[in-house]
Structure 1
Amino acid sequence: MDDIARIAFDHAPVGIVMTRHRVIEQCNTTFCDLSGYASAALLGQSFRMLYGSEAEFNQIRDIGLEPLRRAGAYADERMLRHAQGHAIWCRFRARTLTPQDPLARIVMSFAPIAPRSDGPALTARERQVVTWLARGKTSKEIAQVLGLSPRTIEDVRARLMRKFDVRNTGLLLARLSDLGQ
Structure 2
Amino acid sequence: MTIDSSTGMTRRALLGAFAATTLTAAPTFAKAAGFLRGGGDIRRIRMYSGRTGERIDMIYWVEGKYIKESVKEINHFMRDWRTDGVTSMDLRTIDIMSAAHNLLDVNEPYMLLSGYRSPQTNAMLRSRSRAVAKNSLHMKGQAADLRLSARSVGQIARAAQACKGGGVGKYSRSNFVHMDCGVVRTWGR
Identify, as 1 or 2, the structure richer in helix.
1
Q: Taking CA–CA contacts closer than 8 Å with sequence separation of 6 or more, which of the two structures ends up with the larger relative contact order?
A: 2
Q: TM-score, normalised by structure 1?
A: 0.32
Look at both structures and tell me which one has the larger radius of gyration over its CA atoms: 1
